[in-house]
Structure 1
């Protein structure tokens, strides 16, 4: 087993180094290179790696660290104001995108249930792609970054509610009313406990042993993963728990030191995440799903900026900010992939429709990444003028 993991890691990271070099020489985004590598050497490609589930589980840690680092950059008061301000925008836009997916899927002859699931999958934008393309030291502290993050968090809350409904419909959970109630109670309780723990225990430990850099590193990782596990136990997502853990530390001066030191670890797992997306896709089904998936991805990329431009006008946002937020949120979410897997596993949709959602997500990741890196400030921009980190 150890040899298999080492061999898999060799193929992934040596391969990633090669495709990253090619991508940089040809001025292509690295995210697309990692997904392409997964498709090439994964089970439906050359089949050099046959453990996409293991890779997927490990890559999930990258998303957890990403949200933790995001939380470290967010001041609680600013975040709360933005969530209050943008809640109706998140709800209204989700309804529009769900209707879009439903109508297009029906037009291709799929069943009503399948169209509903595709519509639901279209509601959300990718937290991981959006945050990866936000400048880590500039935009997070600006209004545009706060809007993007606020809308993503609200969408994540809606996505968690959707997943709870799917679990209930699939009969995988008992006492469904209790399952709906637990997250409602769990989130404020989680926030309260985290802030109290940070104030009275964590910060005192850091202040006493701040000379030991290894200790700060271990303590921050332990805090992040502990909150992720607690959140999952409370019926929330691990990502949300990690984000709360980061926000609770954000008011401390040590937050930026922790963020800087955890970035290499985050990037290690994020490479696994994008690789696993490509590796988990069955290329044999591509001819069946490419047309509806391409139409859904292109329509999402075209309609989301227009929708957010219109809705954010109601918040008196200026046009340039509204357009930028819309284009940054133009893709489909990793939550959509989870919805596709879950709906297929409980028999609500077939394998073909599941791959329509997966292909839509992958295409939208690629197209949206190109739009952002060519037009807006981001850490991986091809142009020196737009590169910010």
Structure 2
């Protein structure tokens, strides 16, 4: 019998509270508790929670709010300058990671198409892990945070093009119309967002800034409205949310909005990590465990090194280059999306899809330990490294 949404939420958040308590006592990153909970009570574990499609859709709000809050911390001028510097690094690193993923997958007997998809999934780093482990007050307004955001945003844009290619491949040919639509849609959406904020939202915020409930409502409506607009134009909802945040960053109450939306973001991110663990079929683990461990090890080892040399080539310091390299050392939630889309379109088999998923989970966990133990984070296990 399928559990109701209320009972599912009860089991998820009660279980998360228990495992999070254990994680804190044993000084482990909290996201590991959420992934483990999904594997334990999801359909491939005890089967207490089975409505994963609904939970996955709800969990997407976590990514949307994460990027919206990230945008609120970024000033448009400094972001544009960072994007110009980060473009070469983003493109060169993406090609390198794709080649590594393709080579390993092909050597393990996956087909050429499957190897290409697996290689594409290795191109990106996790926006969720990278930003969640980045101290918001200490680094977002510094060069480190700006450079990381620029790289992640460029990777997200590359991921959108990869997804467009996957969608077009399901029809047997590449759709240049969809690609052209995306290229035209992005600048139109940017102009619309800045004009709406300047001539509509900011005047309303100035007039009714005493009504906190109204500010909260307007911020959420703007975030979700831009997400839906971006999605309807062929872009991702995440890009729309990030753009919504950037355009509101010039508002004097942007930080008030960011602080008040953080609990809502954390609520949905718990669901995201839970659904990640719950959607993984443990029965296939034996077939893909060795290549997943090797691929995750390659990514965790080579990503920091490649990022370090590429970023240092931009005249950045070695210390900053290593810091960013390790913070970007995992693969991405976009990698998971690529795996889900490709298997649904029968471009790859379930083993290839689960190889990507297993590599993502391993890299998420290992990267979290590396960053938490060595760099300042909001969940640092020592007072010296804990930065909110």
**Into which bin does the TM-score normalised by the smaller protein fall?**
over 0.9
Contact 2:2/2:49 (8 A) holds in 1: no
For residues 87 and 346 of structure 1, the distance between their equivalents in structure 2, rounded to whole angstroms, comes to: 31
CA distance in structure 1 between the partners assigned to 2:365 and 2:268 by the alignment: 19
Matches within 5 A, 1:89-108: 89-108=89-108
Gaps of 5+ in 1: none
CA displacement at 1:105 relative to structure 2? 0.8
Other-structure match for 1:139? 139
Superposed displacement of residue 203, structure 1? 0.8
Q: Secondary structure at the match of 1:141?
A: coil
Aligned to 2:320: 321
Q: Aligned ranges for residues 151-162 of structure 1 at < 5 Å?
A: 151-162=151-162
For the pair 1:70 / 2:70, whether they are aligned, the reply is yes
C-alpha separation in 1, matches of 2:190 and 2:128: 22
In the alignment, the residues of structure 1 paired with residue 48 and residue 165 of structure 2 have an alpha-carbon distance, to the nearest angstrom, of 37
Give the corresponding residue for 2:12: 12
Supply the distance in 2 between the matched residues of 1:266 and 1:357 (Cα, whole angstroms).
Answer: 26
Cα displacement (A) at 1:147? 1.0
Shift of 1:175: 9.0
Q: Between Structure 1 and Structure 2, how many residues are aligned?
A: 388
> Where do 1:1-389 residues align within 5 Å?
4-171=4-171, 176-389=175-388
Higher mean alpha-carbon deviation, 109-118 vs 66-75, is at 109-118
Runs (5+) with no aligned partner, structure 2: none
- Deviation for aligned residue 1:252: 1.3
SS at match of 2:6: helix
For 1:278 and 1:287, locate their aligned partners in 2 and report how far apart those are by CA, in whole Å: 16
Q: How many Å apart are 1:30 and its aligned residue?
A: 0.2
Displacement after TM superposition at 1:3 (Å) = 7.0
Report the Cα offset of residue 177 of structure 1: 2.0
Q: Distance in 2 between matches of 1:98 and 1:275?
A: 27
Q: Tell whether the 8 Å contact from 2:41 to 2:49 is kept in structure 1 after alignment.
A: yes
2: CA distance, partners of 1:2 / 1:33: 24
| TM-score of the two chains, using structure 2 as the length reference | 0.98
**Shift, 1:238, TM fit:** 0.3
What is the TM-score with the length of structure 1 in the denominator?
A: 0.98
Quote the RMSD (CA, aligned, Å). Answer: 1.4
2:378 and 2:182 map into 1 onto residues whose CA distance is: 34
CA distance in 2, matches of 1:317, 1:236: 32
Measure, in 2, the Cα distance between the counterparts of 1:388 and 1:185: 40
Deviation by residue 1:284-322 (Cα, 9 ceiling, x = unmatched): 111111111111111101001110111112210100000
> CA shift at 1:176, angstroms?
2.1
Provide, for residues 365-386 of structure 1, a one-character-per-residue CA deviation record: whole Å limited to 9, x for no partner: 0000000001111111111111
Per-residue deviation, 1:35: 0.3
Displacement after TM superposition at 1:254 (Å): 0.7
